[in-house]
Amino acid sequence: MTGKPLRIGFIPLIDAAALIVAVDKGFTAAEGLDVTLVREVSWSNVRDKLNLGLFDAAHLLAPVAIASSLGLGHVKVPIIAPFTLGVNGNAITISPALHAAIMVQIEGDVTDPMVTAKALARVVAARRDKGLEPLTFGMTFPFSTHNYQLRFWMAAGGVDPDEDVRLVVLPPPYMVDSLANGHVDAFCVGAPWNSVAVDLGIGHILHFVSDILVRAAEKVLAVRQRWADDNPDTLAALVRACQRAAAFIEKPENRAVAAEILAGSDRMGVDAEVIRRTLDGRLKISPDGKLRESGRYLLVGREGAARPDPVQAAWLYAQMVRWGQTAATPEALQIAKSVFRPDLYDRALGSTAEPAHGVADGIGAFTGPAFDPDDIANHLKSFAIRRPSRA
């Protein structure tokens, strides 16, 4: 081994797969790295330990890297992402009671997110008329894809996520118990927790988030900018190890092995079969055993998923602006884009070709105009439900 040992934090989610497999299959060791993975429960823990230097790198929510670089919600610490650990992979899971209520109100194809969003709006209105408490939806962090994806979907159907429902923060491993105990009516989280809820008979997967956004950067390999500047060779070696792991995972013949690695008690701590179904994009979506297959459910490395895309960073920043977390400025937009570093990815792998993914604007939202990463303000004007612009 060369250099000092690295401590890298992660949350037990399957989109940490490339990082975990890189370490447990020896790909990091082959690059001369001595890595210890540290399992955490909450995103605030991961963020704080990364920012303070207790972690050298982390499996991190993509919006948290942007928020940290902008100084939103916490201290300002510039973070960069030279590798995307997961594109897509989230899902919206709802309780049997909410599922039944939405099915009563459905007018059209239940797989269409606009149809379900409008049905949700009718459920919300009916509950209000009866004097019932607002529905409660769990998401993982204020600066999270889960928060923005829930809001994007709800608002499209006329539900104001700040006025008509409650959005509450829960660590991913606590989502299932919260649904079982009736603390939430639904949640948006990454794998494997949606499948765990379905297998326990307490949830229905209503949508894969790839129904809402064809392509959504979810988690990144995050490091402090200063650390990256001081350790360029180490960072490049870590990127190469993760890329090798992503390629390994994406080969169908390797997925059983990958699932066993991820199932370990110090990794995911769930049944390997649940993980295997996730990696294959073949999920049980209701307690009666109904299955759904999708090649877009979780992209670990295929379709250029691992290469950071600044368009994704711009979209996430646009959601921060839309929902009143920050003001729109050209300087902040540029900072957000610069968090995602395809140049470092290319340098580590000796590649300059941008992989094709077939999504015209890089996002593929189910409603609204094509996304323009250079004109956030005009893009957001097209949405009726949004928070007033901050000065």
Is residue 224 located within the same domain as residue 357?
Answer: yes
pLDDT at 2: 58
Is residue 246 located within the same domain as residue 171?
Answer: no
Q: Which residues pair with 64 in a beta bridge?
A: none
Degrees, nearest 5: CA angle 57-58-63: 120
The CA distance from 387 to 381, in Å, is: 11
Q: Which residues pair with 38 in a beta bridge?
A: 9
Are the beta carbons of 24 and 18 closer than 8 angstroms?
Answer: no
Is residue 68 located within the same domain as residue 122?
Answer: no
Is residue 94 located within the same domain as residue 83?
Answer: no
The CA distance from 86 to 89, in Å, is: 7
Torsion of CA 336, 187, 161, 326, to 10 degrees: -20
Q: Of 191, 211, 231, which residue constitutes the final position of a domain? A: 211
Residues 6+ apart with CB under 8 A from 103: 110, 119
Is residue 192 located within the same domain as residue 338?
Answer: no
Is residue 100 located within the same domain as residue 82?
Answer: no
Residue 22, helix vs strand vs coil: helix
Residue 290 within a domain: no
Residue 283 within a domain: no
Residue 282 within a domain: no
Is residue 176 located within the same domain as residue 130?
Answer: yes
Q: Which two tokens stand for residue 29?
A: 């060791």
> Distance between terminal CA atoms of the chain?
51
Q: Which two tokens stand for residue 20?
A: 């975990």
pLDDT at 357: 85
Is residue 139 located within the same domain as residue 53?
Answer: no
pLDDT at 3: 72
Residue 292 within a domain: no
Is residue 230 located within the same domain as residue 370?
Answer: yes
Is residue 253 located within the same domain as residue 203?
Answer: no
Residue 317 within a domain: yes
Residue 340 DSSP label: B
Domain of 165, CATH number, reads: 3.40.190.10
**What's the half-sphere exposure (Cβ side, CA atoms, 13 Å) at 314?**
21
Q: Which residues constitute the domain of residue 310?
A: 6-87+216-268+300-374
pLDDT at 92: 98
**What's the half-sphere exposure (Cβ side, CA atoms, 13 Å) at 3?**
19
Domain count, the chain: 2
Residue 19 dihedral angles phi and psi, to the nearest 5°: -70, -45
Q: Split the chain (391 residues) into runs of 10 and give each run's mean pLDDT.
A: 85 96 98 97 94 98 97 94 97 98 97 98 98 97 96 98 97 94 97 93 97 97 98 98 97 96 92 93 94 95 95 98 96 98 96 79 96 94 90 60
Element (H, E) at 343: helix 342-349
Residue 287 within a domain: no
Residue 380 within a domain: no
Residue 235, helix vs strand vs coil: helix
pTM of the model: 0.96
Are the beta carbons of 318 and 380 closer than 8 angstroms?
Answer: yes
Q: Which two tokens stand for residue 318?
A: 């646009």
Beta strands across the sheet bearing 166-169: 166-169, 136-139, 186-190, 90-94, 204-208
Q: Of 211, 226, 255, which residue constitutes the final position of a domain? A: 211
Is residue 43 located within the same domain as residue 12?
Answer: yes
Within 200-263, residue ranges assigned H as helices are 225-230, 232-250, 255-262
Is residue 229 located within the same domain as residue 356?
Answer: yes
Residue 125, helix vs strand vs coil: helix
Residue 115 within a domain: yes
Q: Of 211, 240, 258, which residue constitutes the final position of a domain? A: 211
